[in-house]
Structure 1
Amino acid sequence: MPHQGEILQEAIKNSGISITRIVDGLGITRPTIYRKFKEETLDYGFVKKVGDIIGHDFSSDFTVVQQVSLPFVTQRADVTALPIVTNRDASVSQPEPDTAKQLLALQTKYISLLEAYNELLLKVYGPR
Structure 2
Amino acid sequence: MSETSDLREAALAVREMAYVPYSRFKVGVAIRAASGTVYRGCNVENVAYPQGTCAEAGAIAAMVAAGETSIAEVYVVAASDRPVPCCGGCRQKLAEFAGGEVPVTLATVAGAEEATTIGALLPGAFDAGYMA
TM-score using structure 1 length = 0.24
Higher share of residues assigned helix: 1
Greater C-alpha radius of gyration = 1
Q: Which one has more relative contact order, counting CA pairs under 8 Å at least 6 apart?
A: 1
TM-score using structure 2 length = 0.24
